[in-house]
Amino acid sequence: MMLTMLYEGKAKKVFATNNPQEVIVYFKDDATAFNGEKKDVFLDKGRVNLAFTRYFFELLHSHNIKTHIVSFIDDVSLKAQKVNIIPMEVVVRNKSAGSICKRLGFQKGMNFTPPLCEFYLKDDSLGDPILCREHIRYMDILEEKELSEIEQTALEVNTVLSEHMDSFGVTLVDFKLEFGKTAEGEIILADEISPDTCRFWVKGTMESLDKDVYREEKGDLISSYKRLADILGLKL
């Protein structure tokens, strides 16, 4: 049966199903960096990222954090609730790395206590600019109550993931989340959580186990992801 594609992004394709409230999300093998300026394809990347997404989302479910996941179809596809993705990326930072160092001159590895929560407009053509709460209000992206709800959920996700990764000797440096609204207006966590969307360092070092290996050409991307999976006991 031919599926109708609703959307194709840098790392995923979304297809319609017979249920208007559900979609199929297919994980591609594509890798991008710097808002799509750097592009490559890595065999098995989609399968590996879906395995991580399943691992982390099931962990969040065990802590009563809602996500869009309905079920997992195969190694590269999942079924999800259909949501309207909020055009905003939420970034939680426990340490300074990446764009914040370039933007504000922070030394890499500085601790943020409490964690820093940032918002970015989801728009590659504008370079995903940072948003303040007033921007979000004036652009009618979210109401203040909804933004506070998302911020609280993002920080809860950070607590769960940080503590979990720390128990395996891995530091969660920062990560990006996306949220969506269901047909009933409920806001839930969507997209993925994987080494594509997080920075992971070997504890006590700045050794990357994430997409920085690709961004900064520090080694083989898939080998680094599989190393993280081995640390977590995740079978790929």
Residue 158, SS3 per DSSP? helix
Q: What is the pLDDT of residues 166-178, one digit of tens each?
A: 999 999 999 999 9
Q: What is the pLDDT of residues 20-47, one digit of tens each?
A: 999 999 999 999 987 767 889 999 999 9
- Which of these, 30, 24, 27, lies nearest to 5 by C-alpha position? 24
Do 97 and 203 lie in a common domain? yes
Do 140 and 207 lie in a common domain? yes
Do 206 and 153 lie in a common domain? yes
The pLDDT value given to residue 36: 66
Q: What is the pLDDT of residues 52-89, one digit of tens each?
A: 999 999 999 999 999 999 999 999 999 999 999 999 99
Does the residue 68 lie in any domain? yes
The pLDDT value given to residue 37: 75
Least confident of 15-24, 29-38, 131-140: 29-38
Do 179 and 201 lie in a common domain? yes
Do 51 and 117 lie in a common domain? no
Do 30 and 133 lie in a common domain? no
CB 119 within 8 A of CB 89: yes
Residue numbers of the domain that contains 127: 84-220
Do 71 and 88 lie in a common domain? no
Number of residues that this document lists for the chain: 236
pTM exceeds 0.85: yes
Residues with Cβ within 8 Å of 206's Cβ and at least 6 positions away in sequence, in order, are: 97, 108, 109
CA distances from 54 to 134, 145, 233 (A): 35, 29, 14
Do 68 and 116 lie in a common domain? no
Number of domains in the chain: 2
CA distances from 179 to 46, 104, 147 (A): 21, 26, 11
CA distances from 60 to 19, 64, 168, 192, 230 (A): 25, 6, 17, 12, 20
CB 198 within 8 A of CB 13: no
The pLDDT value given to residue 2: 77
CB 76 within 8 A of CB 26: yes
Does the residue 230 lie in any domain? no
Which residues, in sequence order, are bridge partners of residue 31? 40
Does the residue 233 lie in any domain? no
Q: What is the pLDDT of residues 181-227, one digit of tens each?
A: 999 999 999 999 999 999 999 999 999 999 999 999 999 999 999 99
CATH at 182: 3.30.470.20
Does the residue 25 lie in any domain? yes
CATH at 34: 3.30.200.20
One-character DSSP codes across 61-77: HTTT--BSEEEE-SSSE
The pLDDT value given to residue 1: 61
The pLDDT value given to residue 66: 97
Task: Band the pLDDT of 108: cuts 50, 70, 90.
Answer: very high
Do 106 and 192 lie in a common domain? yes
